[in-house]
Amino acid sequence: MFKKYLILIVIFSLMYKVSFAQEKITRKIVSEKLIAQMDWLTMKIKTFAVSPDSKRVAYGGKIGYKWLVVVDGNEGKKYDGIDIGIRRITFDSSNSLYYLVYRVASISLVNEEIQKPQ
């Protein structure tokens, strides 16, 4: 019985090595552009989103016991919680985004319109 398992392990390890030996790819960084600088020391950042035109950045995080969304470096209103994870902050356009927030016993959908200063 032990020999059968040993033979299977050897066969699978050889198949694994052969499959990766055949798939040699080359990677090249085409471009790299700084889109945001975040304060990792004061805020625990949990979710991140970029606008469709890549001009705006939003991220959600926690300061103390409160959660907030930061858009282009500007902190928003503080909540008991925000829905975190991939695509939890979503841009409709470069000037509009939405996300879910939690308050004591409720969940709300927040839709923010971003206006340029005049």
Task: Return contacts of 24-29, CB within 8 angstroms, 24+ apart.
Answer: none
97 band by pLDDT with thresholds 50, 70 and 90: very high
Q: What is the dihedral of CA 42, 50, 110, 86, to 10 degrees?
A: -80
Task: Quick: pLDDT tens for 62-82.
Answer: 888 888 888 888 889 999 988
Tokens of 109: 């959908």
pTM over 0.85: no
Among candidates 104, 95, 99, which has minimal Cα distance to 59?
A: 99
